[in-house]
Chain A
Amino acid sequence: MNENIIKRINNFSLNSRKNILEMAYLAGSSSSHLGGALSIVEIISTLFTTQININKKKPNWIDKDRFILSKGHACLAYYAALSEVGFISKEELKTFEKDDSNLLGHPVLNKKLGIEFSNGSLGMGLSLGIGVAISLKKKKKNFNVYVVMGDGECNEGSVWEAAMAAPNFRLDNLYAIIDKNNFQQTGSNKEIMNVENLKDKWQSFGWHTSEIDGHNSEELYEYFEKSKEIKKPKALIANTIKGKGFSFSENNNNWHHAVLTKSLYEKAISEISKK
Chain B
Amino acid sequence: MEINDRNIKVWSTIGSRATMGMAALQLAAEIDNLMVLTCDVSTSAGLDRYRKTYPEKYLDLGIAEQNMIGVAAGLASEGYNVITTTFSPFQTMRCCEQIKVNLGYMKQKVCMVGIASGLALGALGFTHCCIEDIGVLRSIPGLTVISPADSLETVKALEAATKFNGPSYIRLTGSSNNPIVYKKDYEFKIGKSITILDGDEITIFCNGATVYHCMEAAKILSAKNISCKVVNMHTIKPIDKLAIDEACKSSLIVTVEEHNIIGGLGSAVAEYKSSIKNSPKQVMLGIQDIYTKGGSYNYLLEKNRITPLKIAEDILLNRT
Contact = CB atoms under 8 A, between A and B. Distances in A.
B125 A105 contact: yes
B41 A120 contact: no
A105 B62 contact: no
B125 A98 contact: no
The secondary structure that dominates the A interface is: loop
A119 B127 contact: yes
The secondary structure that dominates the B interface is: loop
Contact of A106 (B60, B67, B128, B293): B128
A106 B44 CA distance: 18
B18 to A, nearest CB: 14
B296 A192 contact: no
B89 to A, nearest CB: 7
A209 B12 CA distance: 50
Interface residues of A, number: 31
A58 to B, nearest CB: 25
A49 interface: no
Contacts, number: 91
Given A108-B294, A155-B62, A184 B40 contact: yes
Nearest to A107: B125
Nearest to A256: B43
A155 B66 CA distance: 11
A155 B63 contact: yes
B295 interface: yes
Contacts of A156: 63-64
A152 interface: yes
B128 to A, nearest CB: 6
Interface residues of B, number: 27
A104 interface: yes
A185 interface: yes
A107 B294 CA distance: 11
A123 B41 contact: no
Interface string A137-160: 000000000000000110111000
B295 A101 contact: yes
B64 A186 contact: no
A101 B90 contact: no
A133 interface: no
Give the most central of A122, A184, A186: most B CB within 10 Å.
A186
B315 to A, nearest CB: 26
A101 B294 contact: yes
Interface in A89-107: 97-102, 104-107
Q: Which 3 A-B pairs have the closest CB atoms?
A: A193-B62, A120-B127, A99-B295
